[in-house]
Each structure stands twice: as C-alpha cells, then as structure tokens.
Structure 1
C-alpha cells in the first residue's frame, strides 16, 4: 500500500512564488504613492498649525512673531531653505528673540518652498504674507500649500503648485 505524504511539490511552490512576485510588483508602487500622500497631508497640517499658532501668539502677547526657515537655533536668520525645518520666534520688548515652537527637518525626498526670508505676524495679527508649498517626493502634481494673507489669515492653498 502506498503512503501519501503531505506537502507542496516544487512546481506548486514555484507557481505560488511567481504569483506573489507579480502581486508585489503591482502593489508596492501604489503603497509608496499612498505613503507619500499621507506624509504630505500630515506635514501640511503641521505647517498650517504652526502658522496659526504664530498668529495667535502675536495677538495674545501683543508682540511681533517671526516664522522662518531653520537657519539658527537662537533667532530668525536669513535662511531660505524651508526643507530644514521651521522655527517660530517671538520678539520681546527688549528686542531679544525667544523660540516658541519648531518643526524639525522634513523628509529628505520632499521639497518645501516658501518665501525668501521670514513671515512676520504683527501684534494686531497682520502678516507679511506668503505661501509655503510642500511637494512629497518633489512631485509638483501631488503638492499641497498653505497661504498666509497680509490680513493674517492662514488657510490651505491650491494643490498642484510648482515646487
């Protein structure tokens, strides 16, 4: 009498591996794109929140608040690379800057474009204005932005802006 053994044959195993490879080849690019979308949404929300916070602090304390790209940990410098992070400084009556909040650098594959120099909120809540554009993976088609009007209103901007 013949004993039946359990298990897979080599052919069955090879077919299973081939099907799995085809599914991974199709599915992985979609997952990368989805991850970039989630990352962009999260970072644009962080940028929006830090700008709204800055305006609120300027009004609450009756002081000038500066939002700038990271150049120095002690004050707003002349940096223009928003990708390295965003810093919020309040200027006190003595003219000294004090950091209120910060966002550390963004993903190395992403581009962040903002105004050259600082965004300033006055004690009345008015702003110097500007737009910050976040491009996940450097892709213009998937970019998102945050607009700051001169009246100080912080809002989500148009998608698909050039980086």
Structure 2
C-alpha cells in the first residue's frame, strides 16, 4: 500500500492557524473592550459618602451657638447626583428626618444637586436630636442619604455621639 499525500493538507493547516490567530485577536479585543466599559462606567458614576461630625460650634457676634451636628455629604465620582433627603437611622430601620428651622447656619435647601467632586454640609442642633431620641441610643445610629436615583447611602454607625458635644 502506498500513501498518497493530500495536496490541500498544508494550505488547510495554514488557514486554520490564521483563523486561530484572528480568533485570538478578536477575543483579546473583546475582553479589552469589556474591561474598558466597566472602568468608564464605574468612574463616570457618582460616588456618594456621608458622615456625621458632632460637636460643631458656631461663633456669631462674639457668642457661641450650638453645639451642632454636621452632616457632610461628598461626591467623589464623575457624575452629579441629586440629594432628596437625609436622616438618622437606627439598627431596626426606623429613622427620623431632621429639619432645622433656624436661619443660621445657612444651609442649602433640599432637593440639592451635588456636583461631581464637591461636598455639602447640613447642620442640626444636638439638643433637637437629643429630644427626638425617645430613649434610643444615638451611638447605634447612622446617617443616611436618599438620592434621586433611588439609592440610599448610609454612613458608619457610632459617628454621632451626643456626649462629645
């Protein structure tokens, strides 16, 4: 028996190698595009953080007023986001929306458009929070912000301590 060589075997082998190289380039390009989309999507979104700073004092006309609790809301992302409201929430998910009727310190009104890379502060009197606690321990509470996107951003527990004020 004699073996015959196939004249199309070598060209078929070359074409299959070329196809493998093209498919590998396509897969690498697709993965790179997916990674690029993830990076640009996450960097282009808003990144909101909230924290409470107790014991803030306001000096006006030589008199100290306060103490206040300052609620700092920052947006380190690349997109603006609207703040609908902020509140203090306890572990059992009950909350109280805090409103300050005083004229000072001057505060932005809600809803508030928080631009990318900026921060805004809201203030409330520590005494008003102490009156509204109804026997709850404020050290277990956290500040939360309701955004116009429907997202809720919650700060860390234990940042509000009325004894520091």
On whether the aligned pair clears a TM of 0.5, the verdict is no
TM, length-normalised to structure 2: 0.32
Structure richer in strand, relative to its length: 2
What's the TM-score once normalised by structure 1's chain length? Answer: 0.32
